[in-house]
Amino acid sequence: MSSIRNGDYLSFGDNNFGLTTIESWDRHNKQVLKGDIIGITDKNTSTTKNCIVKVNQTSCYDFNDSTDQLKHRTKHINYWKSELERAIQDIDAEINILEASRQQLKNAIDVLNIPEYITDECLQIRRNRMQSDMVYDEPHDELFNESVLIDNIKRLHRDMLRDIENQLKMNVAAKNILESDWSNKYLAFKYESYNSDLETKSVNVKDSAGATRLSEGQSNVQSWEQHTVTALEQFKNAIDRSKKLRETVDAVLINSARDLRSQDIRVNKALSNRIARTEQVKKELENQLQLTLAKIVETENTLQTLNEEMLKVSQRIQVAQTRLNVKNRRPNVENCREGSLIGLIEEIRDLNDSMTLLQNRYLETEKLRAELIHERSRIENEIIVKMKSLHIDNERCLFSRSHFQSAEKLCGF
């Protein structure tokens, strides 16, 4: 029995082959009944539950955090998008205003052709003055100054027009950059808003292999923000330069119009003074002509009187000579040198002297009459010259200058 207790039961023969001992059987039963798998299962279940809770907490936290970051990113993008929208509105308004300034300046350049034509016409017309009135007077000097002023203003306007066109190109380039950045921001805002609204039950949620890989060439937050800041700075510089240029253009147009109107007043004043002076000289010439005509009549009357006096003296000489001839017919001693004979001889001598004097006076008076006639012709010619000058300055130049443009039109309005 002791051998059987010790497990030495194999010696009973082949009938006992393959049998185990009670101890093994007990051990086996204990292992089966021990229930380690149940404990492990309970432990696994507990661990799994804890894992699920932790995963849920982590995933929910990460999802909420990602959603918050996406919403924050959306707000950040929307902020810069709004800034870009305001900038685009401002630059677009500035482009329209600057374009209006460009059109105003072009109108001013076109209107400037009228004063230029008026000035050139006045200078050309005044070259038709006659003879002594062809002088470089004050109106001519002021017209020349006006012509130089117009040339300077036209050159200044052309330079300003070129600057405006260049500035418009800069404004359009800045606007294009802003619109391009805004378009990118709009798409980014759209995508980020879409992402922030996505949930686990959304229709378009699906696996995207390789989505976690970072793309090459991606910008960082600083460079992304700096790109927009640079675009806005370029916009600010462009709009500041544009506003300053518009202020300069407005000042140039106002100053140019004021200078042209002031010069127009000076030219008109010089023409008016010249016309008044010419009228005065013309009236003096007319008075001189009346006096000359009166002197011509007086001289002709004097010549007629001299002719009559010379006829009388000639008749007296004939009478005296006849008397002497009669006296010389006296016979013999009667032909005496008595006082009457001597008186007749002295009378003839005196009459001859008087005739010579009258003839000299006649010649002098005749010469004076010729000079008076020549003076009359010269004065009449001068009156014609003055009338031509008055016609040119008063009826041609001042009439042309009455169409000189107003300050508003000279400013391009």
Q: pLDDT-based confidence at 1, cuts 50/70/90?
A: very low
Residue that has been written with the tokens 């008397």 in this structure? 323
- The closest alpha carbon to 92, from 179, 163, 182, belongs to 179
Q: Residue 111: how many CB atoms within 10 A of its CB? A: 19
State how far the Cα of 255 lies from the Cα of 318, in Å rounded to an integer. 92
Q: Around Cβ 376, how many Cβ atoms within 10 Å?
A: 16
Q: What is the pLDDT of residue 213?
A: 65
- Angle at CA of residue 71, ends 65 and 72, nearest 5°: 85
- Of 1.10.10, 1.10.287, 2.50.20, 1.10.20, the CATH number of 290-329+337-410 is 1.10.287
DSSP string for residues in 259-309: HHHHHHHHHHHHHHHHHHHHHHHHHHHHHHHHHHHHHHHHHHHHHHHHHHH
Which has more pLDDT, 180 or 412? Answer: 180
Average pLDDT rounded to a whole number, residues 389-394? 94
CATH topology of domain 80-198+222-279: Ferritin (1.20.1260)
pLDDT of 251: 95
Average pLDDT of 372-388? Answer: 94
**Region 106-124 average pLDDT:** 94
Domain ranges for the chain:
80-198+222-279, 290-329+337-410
Q: What distance in Å separates the CA atoms of residue 108 and residue 115, rounded to the nearest whole number?
A: 11
382, pLDDT greater than 70: yes
Place of tokens 């106002």: 254
Task: Locate 224 and state its tokens.
Answer: 């992304």
d(CA 406, CA 264): 10
pLDDT number for residue 29: 79
The string of DSSP codes covering 60-117 is HHHHHHHHHHHHHHHHHHHHHHHHHHHHHHHHHHHHHHHHHHHHHHHHHHHHTHHHHH
State how far the Cα of 103 lies from the Cα of 97, in Å rounded to an integer: 10
pLDDT exceeding 90 applies to what percent of the chain? 66
Span 116-124, average pLDDT:
94
pLDDT of res. 64? 87
380 falls in which pLDDT band (50, 70, 90)?
A: very high
Q: How far is Cα 317 from Cα 323, in angstroms, rounded to an integer? A: 10
* pLDDT given at position 215: 66
Q: Enumerate residues 6+ apart whose C-beta is below 8 A from 11.
A: 3
State mean pLDDT over 143-159.
Answer: 96
Helix (H, G, I), strand (E, B) or coil at 8: coil
Lowest mean pLDDT among 20-24, 278-282, 357-361: 20-24
Instruction: Count other C-beta atoms under 10 Å from residue 309's C-beta.
Output: 16
Q: What is the pLDDT of residue 274?
A: 95
Q: What is the pLDDT of residue 7?
A: 47
pLDDT score, position 12: 47
Give start and end residues of each alpha helix (H) in 198-220: none
Question: Residues 6 or more apart from 150 whose CB is under 8 A from it?
Answer: 112, 115, 116, 119, 260
> What is the C-alpha to C-alpha distance for residues 66 and 196, in angstroms, rounded to an integer?
8
Closest C-alpha to 361, from 311, 302, 294, 301: 302
pLDDT band at residue 13 under the 50/70/90 scheme: low
Residue among 157, 159, 161, 178 nearest 238 (CA): 178
326: Cβ contacts below 8 Å, ≥ 6 apart: none
Predicted confidence band at 334 (pLDDT cuts at 50, 70, 90)? Answer: confident
Q: Over 60: is that where the pLDDT of 359 sits?
A: yes
The per-residue pLDDT for range 181-238, each reduced to its tens digit, is: 999 999 999 988 888 888 777 777 665 555 556 667 777 889 999 999 999 999 999 9
**pLDDT of amino acid 4:** 47
DSSP string of 182-241, one letter each residue:
HHHHHHHHHHHHHHHH--TT-TT----TTTTSPPTT---HHHHHHHHHHHHHHHHHHHHH
Contact 392, 129 (CB under 8 A): yes
Report pLDDT for 36. Answer: 67
- The mean-pLDDT minimum among 4-18, 87-101, 342-356 falls in 4-18
Residue 340 sits at the vertex; the CA angle it makes with 333 and 324, to the nearest 5 degrees, is 75
Residue 40 has pLDDT above 90, yes or no: no
Q: What is the rounded CA–CA span in Å between residue 229 and residue 236?
A: 10
Domains 80-198+222-279 and 290-329+337-410 alike in fold: no
How far is the C-alpha of 269 from the C-alpha of 263, rounded, in Å?
A: 10
SS3 (DSSP) at 403: coil
Neighbouring C-beta atoms of residue 354, cutoff 10 Å: 16
Task: Give the separation between CA 253 and CA 342, rounded to whole angstroms.
Answer: 102
Q: What is the mean pLDDT of residues 10-17?
A: 56
Dist CA 260 CA 154 (whole Å): 12
Averaged pLDDT of the chain: 89
Start-to-end C-alpha separation, the chain: 138
For position 3, what pLDDT does the model report?
A: 46
Residues 293, 299, 302, CA angle at the centre, nearest 5°?
Answer: 145
